[in-house]
Amino acid sequence: MENTPCGEIRVDILPVGPLQSNCYLIYCTENRKALVVDPGDEGDKILRAIQQLRLVPVMIINTHGHGDHIGANGFIKERFQIPIAIHAGDAPLLTDPAANLSAWMGLPIVSPPADQILCDGAAIPFEGNMVEVFHTPGHSPGGITLRIGHHLLTGDALFKGSIGRTDLPGSSQAQLLEGIRRHILSLPDDVIIYPGHGPSTTVGEERRYNPFLQGMA
């Protein structure tokens, strides 16, 4: 939690789908406005959480365009009539099951197209706060990391003790590590990392113990 102009910023985590991708609800305690980040599957489960928390979603943000992170985009967009935002590099993946890899798993996923294209250095206004957008490609061409205060959502770029896969179409380990070095390891140790899969961690913990990041400045 973090004190902001709209009260506290809270982050709720909902693992969804067969790959247990983390969907995040980022919301203000005062007015209940919310961002829905990576609604990857189980739209009904996400909707129940939104209703139980009495949230008012205002935007869907995808950290990248792989099928396990976009599967409930259409459900949430239609239910709340809100825009979908993604980096230009991954926007084509939303509507292409082969490109978003869902066709490989035999369950083709097609999301509505992007309503808003994000770029490196963008700042998304959110109830008196700014959500900073960092381009962290390497797992996918348009992967992004989102920062709001001391909360950092890294998608599939960085996990607790690991990094994202770089054996997929459009991936690059060199790009991924450079993005992590530039945009994540440059942050204070106490910044909380919320990855696309698995448990949360901190910048300091990954700096010290993540075997993929040792020796990086």
Amino acid, res. 80: F
**Domains in the chain, please, with CATH?**
2-209 (3.60.15.10)
- Alpha-carbon distance of 196 to 209, in angstroms, equals 19
Is pLDDT of 217 > 80? no
Q: What is the pTM of this model?
A: 0.95
pLDDT tens figures, 53-110: 999 999 999 999 999 999 999 999 999 999 999 999 999 999 999 999 999 888 899 9
Three-class DSSP category at 84: strand
At residue 8 the predicted structure's pLDDT band, cuts being 50, 70 and 90, is confident
pLDDT band per the 50, 70, 90 thresholds, residue 6: low
Statement: residue 150 has pLDDT above 70: yes
Of all residues in the chain, the percent with pLDDT exceeding 70 is 96
Q: How much is the mean pLDDT over the chain?
A: 95
> Could you read off the pLDDT of 11-52 as tens digits, one per residue?
999 999 999 999 999 999 888 999 999 999 999 999 999 999
Question: Within a 10 A sphere around the Cβ of 176, how many other Cβ atoms?
Answer: 24
Q: pLDDT value at position 58? A: 97
**Helix pair angle (73-80, 43-52), 10° resolution:** 40
Do the Cβ atoms of 143 and 135 come closer than 8 Å? yes
